[in-house]
Amino acid sequence: MGIRLSDGDRICIIGGGPAGSFAALQLLAQIDQLGMRLEVMIFEPRDFSIPGSGGCNRCAGIISTRLIHNLESLEISLPDDVIQSEIRAYSIHLNQEIMKIDRPDPEYRIVSIYRGGGPRLHPFGPVTSFDGYLLSAACARGAERIKARVIAVTWDRKPIIHTAQNRFAADLVILATGVNSRSPLGDEFGYQPPRTEIMAQDEFPLPEGWPSDQVRSYFQKPPGLVFGALIPKGSYVNISLLGRGLAADAISDFIEAHELNEDLPVSSGSLCGCTPRIAVGLAKRYFGDRWVAVGDAAVTRLYKDGIGAAFSTAEKAVHTALTVGISEAAFRKGYRPLCKEIVKDNNYGRILFRLWDLTLRFRVLMSVWVGIIKSEEDLPRSQRIHSRILWGMFTGSEPYRQLFRKLFSKGSIIPLYRSVKKDRLK
Ligand SMILES: Cc1cc2nc3c(=O)[nH]c(=O)nc-3n(C[C@H](O)[C@H](O)[C@H](O)COP(=O)(O)OP(=O)(O)OC[C@H]3O[C@@H](n4cnc5c(N)ncnc54)[C@H](O)[C@@H]3O)c2cc1C
């Protein structure tokens, strides 16, 4: 379709977070199979080994089952020093109750990682960065890393990349800049980043006696909170909060509201702290002749598994570029359907999170859910449908549409109906 890549062409990837490194790794694997020779450059100014915000692409750091499988397709298996904790259960903290949901299947492995060198204050030493590991893997396989910020991309028959020191003509630009910095693309590209929401995060030493394989989830308090998660990461625990209109001191309000002060003393225990943006929509005009956006800069999964979406968008964009072409029409044909599919799946996710919100508001609904999850504890893992739905929602390990179908299947509705009847007889 129109313009195509040929031997000797240069591909410039802007951003060396997961989407940028996945794009480079996919390119290098696929051109090898096709017997092509292309120059692959990644522009990334950050040193991912630095603790604190300077070296970090700020996130909770849960790696989904799907992503772990996808990494294997690139012959990447995360080394032990990158994996901080193996997560085997989620405990869901409600007003009066705690629901524990075990991993539905030992095959459903999920792990926690640090994106940079760990918290700014690091009493147990710095840690090995996931983003740094992926970027090094891309460079070891043939990508050239330019340690510089791209300050502008202009157009002169091809995209021209500008850093403070140099200019590079590109045959194809892959935009992987996420949503936490301004896009360097000039107005002529017409790119508009996705809608975002603001989250709050901090890190603490893992309190003594806390299981290191269990994520804790909290809801409703402080006002506006959609969910709060406490994620063990080696010797530390990460707090990530998503909410509407959360105050600047949301982390301390959250700790106080859930009476966690003793374990997580804000004044002496807080080790980091940031308020990053999370993408919640689709970018406008996210591809054109000789350029395409991937990862958060294009679209991501709602609230969960953003790194997994960085993988799938990078894979599809690269496959399109190599097999269909690099014109706007080629990306519309080969790449846009995947992005639209993610948007559609997110709509199912929105309905599921709304239903969960309703459940939290109405005591009767909550008592039905708690009853049903408890009754599933005696069933074989394969029959714990409702636990599996919650596990999928909170870990991002399954498409929302699949979870939605499970929720409205016979196997889910009949036990729910029985649980409602039992609750009414109490
Ligand atoms: C609080 C929070 C918690 C989250 N938790 C999870 C989770 O547990 N699991 C999960 O899978 N996802 C999670 N996400 C989502 C996840 O962080 C993103 O989906 C993921 O980082 C997207 O990767 P990316 O490469 O597209 O963007 P980023 O990770 O943002 O990477 C963009 C890169 O581009 C570089 N860059 C930017 N501008 C330029 C420029 N002009 N020139 C050169 N380089 C540039 C940046 O330095 C950065 O390295 C979370 C997000 C937030 C905010």
Average pLDDT of the segment spanning 162-186: 98
Tell whether 39 is covered by a domain.
yes
Question: What is the four-CA torsion angle of 290, 175, 77, 65, rounded to 10 degrees?
Answer: -110
The mean pLDDT value of the chain amounts to 94
Average pLDDT of the segment spanning 280-307: 97
| Confidence (pLDDT) at 94 | 87
| Confidence (pLDDT) at 20 | 98
DSSP conformation class of 46: -
Tell whether 118 is covered by a domain.
no
Tell whether 105 is covered by a domain.
no
Of 27-36, 94-103, 162-171, give the lowest mean pLDDT range: 94-103
User: Would you call 277 helix, strand, or coil by DSSP?
Assistant: strand
Measured CA to CA, the distance from residue 142 to residue 137 in angstroms comes to 9
Q: What CATH number has the domain bearing residue 271?
A: 3.30.70
Residues 224 and 253 in one domain: yes
Contact 149 CB / ligand 1 (< 6 Å): yes
Contact 392 CB / ligand 1 (< 6 Å): no
Whether 424 shows a pLDDT value over 80: the answer reads no
Whether 80 shows a pLDDT value over 80: the answer reads yes
Tell whether 71 is covered by a domain.
no
| Confidence (pLDDT) at 417 | 77
| Confidence (pLDDT) at 31 | 94
Nearest to 354 by CA among 279, 302, 423: 302
Residues 362 and 382 in one domain: yes
Amino acid of residue 399: P
Residues 273 and 401 in one domain: no
Contact 129 CB / ligand 1 (< 6 Å): no
CA of 185 to the centre of ligand 1 (A): 18
| Confidence (pLDDT) at 77 | 95
| Confidence (pLDDT) at 420 | 72
| Confidence (pLDDT) at 245 | 79
| Confidence (pLDDT) at 166 | 98
Domain boundary among the residues 231, 253, 278 is at: 278
Q: Determine how many CB atoms are found less than 10 A away from the CB of residue 7.
A: 9
Domain range holding 356?
Answer: 346-425
Tell whether 5 is covered by a domain.
no
| Confidence (pLDDT) at 425 | 58
Residues 377 and 330 in one domain: no
Nearest to 239 by CA among 213, 260, 208, 223: 260
| Of 191 and 394, more confident | 191
CA of 407 to the centre of ligand 1 (A): 31
* Percent over 90 (pLDDT), the chain: 81
Residue nearest to atom 29 of ligand 1 (CA): 17
Average pLDDT of the segment spanning 86-112: 90
CB 349 within 8 A of CB 401: no
Buried residues in 12-46 as b, exposed as e (16+ CB within 10 A): bbbbbbbbbbbbbbbbbebbeeeeeebebbbbbeb
Domain boundary among the residues 250, 278, 306 is at: 278
Tell whether 409 is covered by a domain.
yes
Measured CA to CA, the distance from residue 118 to residue 289 in angstroms comes to 39
Measured CA to CA, the distance from residue 319 to residue 394 in angstroms comes to 30
Residues 135 and 252 in one domain: no
Q: What CATH number has the domain bearing residue 139?
A: 3.50.50.60
68: left (phi over 0), alpha (psi -120 to 50) or beta: alpha
Residues 54 and 156 in one domain: yes
Whether 103 shows a pLDDT value over 70: the answer reads yes
Q: Which atom of ligand 1 is nearest to the CA of 18?
A: 25
Whether 89 shows a pLDDT value over 70: the answer reads yes
| Confidence (pLDDT) at 423 | 64
Domain boundary among the residues 278, 306, 331 is at: 278
* Percent over 70 (pLDDT), the chain: 99
Residues 246 and 307 in one domain: no
| Cβ-based neighbours of 142, under 8 Å, separated by 6 or more | 28, 40
| Confidence (pLDDT) at 43 | 98
C-alpha separations of 184 from 37, 136, 190, 191, 192 in Å: 27, 24, 12, 10, 11
Q: Which pLDDT band holds residue 72 (cuts at 50, 70, 90)?
A: very high
Of 35-44, 231-240, 354-363, 409-418, give the lowest mean pLDDT range: 409-418
CA of 320 to the centre of ligand 1 (A): 23
Tell whether 67 is covered by a domain.
no
Residues 413 and 382 in one domain: yes
CA of 301 to the centre of ligand 1 (A): 13
Q: Which pLDDT band holds residue 189 (cuts at 50, 70, 90)?
A: very high
Whether 426 shows a pLDDT value over 70: the answer reads no
Tell whether 165 is covered by a domain.
yes
| Confidence (pLDDT) at 323 | 96
Residue found under tokens 């959360």: 246
Residues 234 and 311 in one domain: no
Residues 253 and 286 in one domain: no
Residues 338 and 359 in one domain: no
| Consecutive H or E run containing 401 | helix 400-407
Domains of the chain: total: 3
Whether 179 shows a pLDDT value over 80: the answer reads yes
Average pLDDT of the segment spanning 108-136: 96
| Confidence (pLDDT) at 251 | 95
Residues 397 and 302 in one domain: no
Whether 1 shows a pLDDT value over 70: the answer reads no
Whether 383 shows a pLDDT value over 90: the answer reads no
Residue from 53, 87, 181 whose mutation best tests the ligand 1 pocket (most atoms within 8 A of CB): 181
Contact 415 CB / ligand 1 (< 6 Å): no
Average pLDDT of the segment spanning 107-134: 95
Whether 314 shows a pLDDT value over 70: the answer reads yes
Average pLDDT of the segment spanning 42-57: 96
Average pLDDT of the segment spanning 314-321: 98
Q: Which pLDDT band holds residue 85 (cuts at 50, 70, 90)?
A: very high
User: Would you call 267 helix, strand, or coil by DSSP?
Assistant: helix
